Chains A and B, each alone.
Chain A
Amino acid sequence: MDLNRRITRNWILPKLMATKQLYSLTALFSTPDEIIHAAGETAAAGYAKFDVHTPYPVHGLDRAMRLKPSRVGIFALIFGFLGTVSAVGLMTWVALVDYPLVIGGKPFWSWPAFVPIAFEVTVLLASVLSVVAMIVIYFKFPNNSHPLHETPYMKAVSSDRYGLSIQADDVKFDERKVRDFLQEVGGKEIAPVYFDPEVGARLFDPKFLGILLATALVVSAGTYLTLNKALYTVPFDWMMEQRKLKAQKASDLFKNGIGMRTPVEGTVARGFLPYPYRGKPEDAARNLVNPLLPTADVIQRGKVRYLTFCSPCHGNFARGDSRLRGQFPNPPTLHTDKVRNWPDGAIYHVISEGQNVMPSYAAQIARDDRWAIVHYLRVLQRAQNAQESDLK
């Protein structure tokens, strides 16, 4: 009743009359059985452009309306599959190609750990992209309004009524006949709905933009506060704030106020052996033997390490002609008879201990890498002093 009165009132206003067009005739029903019956009758009567609105999904409507099977399922399936493939693909690429890490002694491609993530991404993409597709396809984005919006009809069908709307652009549409038809199938509160064809997408409607902005603000503020503040308050920081000393933190437990302790005398780090020839180059030259065989791999490794650590001073070919020449006391060429006749141990000793201005490289270059460099240096020396017999 109220609805009719309101529309009549609008109808009377001549200014509105000029721009408004009939969109559809709507009717309200009280039970799901009635709406299913009415939808079936409407389809049987030959109307094609009609729609049904219910407060919740009523099963059986699709069939009564003679709709083709919904494409939502196919879309969701494709998007979900996309999610599965991209999640598994990303994890596979990271775990096998980009950053292989041994975790808990498990194989790199540990598929059980992928299952929860693949599942979540599947659900995420299936749902989010389906909604996006719906907005684009059904709502014809950027259109974000509909003639039925903000009508008493829409308010009724989103609370406790079931609505049927037959559109005016249907070929069979005739206002009188449709009104009678709706009455015949038991519709109540039959009312026309008008729309203004000149009002297009209301994307820049201040109300719409305002709500969008407010949502963005609330969500980002919430995210910011959660990630930057809430997670650092009690009790969420219990794992971070433990009663233990961290490296390089002060502590009043010890006399000198330093939390970090010096290892006791004679401590040997794992994987390292103390170097017994400290300050004894002759002993090193006499006793040390290169433990590596000069295989292609070893020489390649030596080349890489040599170019990284040695070449800045000694030059790419050990001629002592690097770009740093002139800025320091000049590094010597390594192709002198003296160095060529040194045993491997003597070269190794110089790399480990340093000599003259050259510092020790023991901290930067691992033991085996130092020996590999020695092999590579031998290759360079041989290349500089090639003999006729090398060509054979």
Chain B
Amino acid sequence: MGRKLRTSRYETRKGWMLGRFVILAAVLAAGRATSALAAEEKPVGWVALNQAFSGATLVNDPETCRACHEDTMTAYEETMHGKAFKFVSPSQGECESCHGPRSKHVENPTGELALKNLKPAQQSAVCLQCHEGGARFGWKAGAHRINDVSCISCHSVMENKSERALLAKASVPQTCFQCHGQVRAEITKTSHHPVREGLVDCASCHNPHGSTPGLLVKNTLNETCYTCHAEKRGPFLWEHAPARESCANCHLPHGSNNRNLLTSKETFLCLSCHSYGGHINLPRYNRVSSPYGSGCVNCHFNVHGSNHPSGAKQTR
């Protein structure tokens, strides 16, 4: 049958593509195998970021900064940076490791050397001196960076506005809603993940620093969902193919006006793919399979897959 022929071509195609990637990875690894372990700090080239730094030297004395920026530094000392720099002295000094050499600013205190004058990628380069790696491994190719979002778009370095992560707003959702306000309407719908109750937040599913599709914490949507919903992972003896391919085929993870985060009322969702005849062809009222209760799921409740030997229709 045609599908079996495709299977053998499928195996050949898979092996060829995987082989290309493995070879590329090996080349990358071999090419860098001899590189010595590098220091973690990567000081930026300040003049390259802003020509106005040309000729400026390090002051390396926070008290000089405090003379004019007392209020800012008082709030800053409560932050993790403020505490950390008391213990670890960066090579460029406490304030100047992020703000650049300040001798010219001390002589002539204008806003010429302010961070906000830099482009977003340049602003991020300041933070990435120390904070590259971990969840930020894919930052440079991620959707946020490509769309000119910088670290200070979401983080407030000089003041604790949130419980954790030095966010620009009091919570993760409020920070994300600065740009993604349309998601707020979704999470207020009646069927929702407990975001507005504070038990999960955007970072439970998304890595804003990454470069995976949808900036998800895992490589695929389903892998992300299975983190909390492992009972749906299977695999099952009888699979429901669209569920295996993507949870978003049936669910709206941000929220829905339909129960169980479904894209539409249960019966109509099923009828958008199934038209077998008999009771499976219209939302007829006089059946338990009808829109009442859970619709088709009144009997076909194992929609994510069944492990019963007679579970071909997910009724057992």
A and B bound? Answer: no
Using CB atoms and an 8 Å cutoff, list the residues of chain B in contact with chain A.
Answer: none
Using CB atoms and an 8 Å cutoff, list the residues of chain A in contact with chain B.
Answer: none
